[in-house]
């Protein structure tokens, strides 16, 4: 299994290199669809080969021509496995090699594996199409066994359609068992309506119970081999007991707390503009992991600039910038997905360490240092950049007023725009305004006004209480009311 996984990784990296042009990727894609059609046609000996081959090929090309090469590999792999599985089962039934050597064996076929994994591995619309196409093709493979095979194909189709809305809300792997139970019961009811067989319905429910165990393993395999960030993988990475996050908490507690705050703020902002909020929140936890290599050079961990007093300004600038490179190395050493690493590299873009550049300018020191970048290339990394800089700027304020917070965040966004940090990202001015509003509200809620417990504050409170009665009325107004009633 490990060897197979390594081979797939090499194939994936080769297909995604710049040497392989889009033209060659299209060639590989259509070659895979030709293989699909060949396997399907060979599985349907009852029909003319050329008709089934051309018909199935046209369907694959028409429906899946615009998918990415990775998705075409997954689509082809699922299709071929499905066709061969049904054909193999049919042959075993005809030869009576199985204890259950009747058409009923297909009612226990764990079809739920396909919708419950494809939904997270490829574009959801394409997953819907494939989960509809495969049962239709299945009719041609196994229909000769019994007329009731049509009913199980329809149950596969309608059961898949029903399960998709529930799958979209799934965040934990265990939730697949809940969705499978809904799929199984619904499919069983459909079978009762179409055929009226209790045995077939019971077998269908059994297949739904078995499927999630296999689905979880399949998803785990694709997550790790193809670095696909499913909701389940993101949920696993957000566990604060992840070894990297544990080290960050122990070595750089200030940075860890900053990351938690940024994660919450970025999640809210991403929700506001329809970005991938779960991805942003997960990436925010890891975006500054490089700081734990030299935590003493970051003020949130030590509360001062002591370490920087021992070195010159260019060296301070270099060490601060270095946390991006250190973060990337740590992330790769722990096999974090590339999509998370993108946030580590892009959250500062190609900006300069403003604090040290301004200090150097005042001291007439030549300093031209910038973060290595690249600048943000997605809406999600734009949100990360804004939230990271905004939280750091607002945290330094002495008084947390909405107007002041809004002014600070407006300056942050304006500065990034002027430096061209959003030039390579698909973000509009309108989206930036909505992000700003969401971040202002989130930071205002987080850094809300808190009561002071010092002596002066308590004395002021007592003085104010003397000016009002127990009902909260002004003392003079209360006195007038008393005279009127008297």
Nearest residue to 432 (alpha-carbon basis) of 197, 269, 297: 269
Q: Is residue 105 part of a domain?
A: yes
Element (H, E) at 398: none
For the chain, which residues score pLDDT lower than 70? 1-23, 94-102, 143-148, 196, 448-461, 464-486
Q: Is residue 45 part of a domain?
A: yes
- Say if CB 130 and CB 157 are below 8 A apart: no
How many CB atoms sit inside 10 A of residue 173's CB? 18
Looking at the structure, do residues 262 and 320 belong to the same domain, yes or no?
Answer: yes
CA distance 357 to 156: 63
Looking at the structure, do residues 282 and 215 belong to the same domain, yes or no?
Answer: no
- pLDDT (0 to 100) of residue 242: 95
DSSP 252-320: -HHHHHHHHHHHHHHHHHHHHHT--HHHHHHHHHHTTGGGGTSGGGSHHHHSS-TGGGGS-HHHHHHHH
Looking at the structure, do residues 245 and 384 belong to the same domain, yes or no?
Answer: yes
Q: What domain range is 343 assigned to?
A: 238-446
Looking at the structure, do residues 363 and 383 belong to the same domain, yes or no?
Answer: yes
- Say if CB 80 and CB 74 are below 8 A apart: no
CATH number for the domain spanning 259: value is 1.10.3210.10
- pLDDT (0 to 100) of residue 5: 52
Looking at the structure, do residues 261 and 395 belong to the same domain, yes or no?
Answer: yes
CA distance 392 to 387: 8
Structure tokens at 184: 């199984």
Q: Is residue 124 part of a domain?
A: yes
* Residue 106: DSSP 8-state: G
Q: Is residue 196 part of a domain?
A: yes
Looking at the structure, do residues 181 and 295 belong to the same domain, yes or no?
Answer: no
Looking at the structure, do residues 188 and 316 belong to the same domain, yes or no?
Answer: no
- pLDDT (0 to 100) of residue 200: 84
CA distance 252 to 255: 5
- pLDDT (0 to 100) of residue 118: 95
Looking at the structure, do residues 182 and 247 belong to the same domain, yes or no?
Answer: no
* Residue 103: DSSP 8-state: G
How many CB atoms sit inside 10 A of residue 459's CB? 10
Question: Which residue(s) pair with 49 in the sheet?
Answer: none
Report the domain count for the chain.
3
- Say if CB 305 and CB 299 are below 8 A apart: yes
- pLDDT (0 to 100) of residue 13: 55
Looking at the structure, do residues 391 and 411 belong to the same domain, yes or no?
Answer: yes
Q: Is residue 192 part of a domain?
A: yes
- pLDDT (0 to 100) of residue 8: 52
Looking at the structure, do residues 226 and 244 belong to the same domain, yes or no?
Answer: no
Looking at the structure, do residues 262 and 115 belong to the same domain, yes or no?
Answer: no
- pLDDT (0 to 100) of residue 20: 47
Q: What is the three-class DSSP state of 474? A: strand
CA distance 145 to 149: 8
Last residue of a domain, one of 200, 231, 262: 231
Q: Is residue 282 part of a domain?
A: yes
Structure tokens at 388: 């990271």
Looking at every residue in the chain, the average pLDDT score rounds to 86
* Residue 36: DSSP 8-state: H
Cα radius of gyration (the chain) = 30
Looking at the structure, do residues 250 and 151 belong to the same domain, yes or no?
Answer: no
Rounded to 5 degrees, φ, ψ at 459 are -65, -40
Last residue of a domain, one of 209, 231, 253: 231
Q: Is residue 4 part of a domain?
A: no
- Say if CB 108 and CB 206 are below 8 A apart: yes
Q: What angle do CA 340, 342, 346 make, to 5 degrees?
A: 130
Last residue of a domain, one of 168, 202, 231: 231
Rounded to 5 degrees, φ, ψ at 474 are -65, 145
- pLDDT (0 to 100) of residue 235: 94
CA distance 431 to 433: 5
- pLDDT (0 to 100) of residue 344: 97
Q: Is residue 340 part of a domain?
A: yes
- pLDDT (0 to 100) of residue 19: 47
Structure tokens at 331: 């992330």
- Say if CB 153 and CB 138 are below 8 A apart: yes
Alpha-carbon distances, residue 323 vs 206, 295, 317, 377 (angstroms): 52, 9, 11, 20
């Amino acid at each position: 299994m490990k060897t197979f996984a390594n081979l797939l990784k090499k194939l994936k990296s080769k297909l995604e290199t710049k040497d392989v042009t889009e033209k060659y990727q299209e060639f590989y894609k259509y070659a895979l669809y030709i293989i699909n059609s060949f396997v399907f046609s060979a599985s349907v000996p009852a029909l003319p080969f050329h008709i089934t081959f051309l018909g199935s090929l046209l369907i694959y090309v028409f429906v899946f021509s615009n998918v990415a090469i990775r998705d075409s590999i997954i689509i082809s792999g699922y299709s071929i496995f499905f066709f061969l599985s049904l054909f193999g089962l049919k042959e075993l039934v005809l030869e009576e090699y199985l204890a259950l050597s009747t058409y009923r064996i297909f009612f226990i076929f764990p079809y739920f594996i396909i919708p419950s994994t494809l939904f997270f591995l490829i574009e959801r619309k394409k997953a819907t199409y494939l989960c509809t196409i495969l049962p239709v093709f299945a009719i041609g493979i196994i229909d000769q066994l019994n007329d009731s095979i049509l009913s199980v194909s329809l149950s596969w189709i309608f059961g898949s359609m029903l399960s998709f809305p529930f799958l979209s809300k799934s965040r934990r792997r265990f939730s697949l068992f809940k969705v499978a139970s809904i799929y199984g019961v619904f499919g069983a009811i459909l079978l009762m309506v179409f055929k009226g067989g209790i045995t077939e319905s019971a077998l269908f429910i059994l297949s739904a119970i078995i499927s999630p165990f296999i689905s979880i393993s399949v998803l785990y395999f694709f997550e790790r081999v193809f670095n696909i960030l499913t909701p389940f993988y993101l949920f696993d990475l957000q566990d604060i007991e992840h070894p990297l996050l544990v080290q960050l908490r122990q070595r750089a507690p200030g940075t860890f707390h900053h990351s938690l705050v940024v994660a919450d703020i970025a999640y809210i902002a991403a929700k506001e503009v329809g970005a991938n909020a779960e991805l942003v929140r997960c990436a925010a936890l890891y975006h500054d992991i490089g700081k734990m290599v030299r935590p003493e050079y970051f003020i949130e961990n030590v509360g001062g600039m002591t370490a920087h007093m021992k070195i010159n300004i260019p060296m301070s600038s270099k060490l601060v910038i270095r946390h991006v490179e250190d973060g990337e190395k740590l992330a790769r050493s722990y096999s974090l997905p590339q999509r998370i690493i993108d946030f580590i590299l892009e959250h500062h873009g190609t900006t300069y360490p403003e604090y040290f550049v301004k200090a150097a300018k005042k001291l007439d020191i030549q300093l031209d240092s910038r973060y290595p970048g690249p600048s943000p290339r997605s809406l999600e990394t734009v949100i990360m950049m804004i939230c990271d800089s905004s939280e750091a700027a607002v945290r330094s304020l002495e008084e947390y007023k909405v107007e002041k917070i809004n002014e600070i965040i407006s300056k942050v966004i304006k500065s990034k725009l002027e430096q061209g940090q959003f030039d390579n990202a698909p973000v509009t001015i309108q989206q930036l305004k909505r992000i700003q509003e969401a971040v202002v509200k989130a930071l205002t809620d987080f850094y809300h006004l808190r009561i002071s417990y010092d002596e002066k504050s308590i004395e002021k409170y007592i003085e104010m209480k003397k000016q009002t009665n127990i009902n909260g009325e002004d003392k003079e107004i209360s006195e007038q009311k008393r005279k009127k009633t008297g």
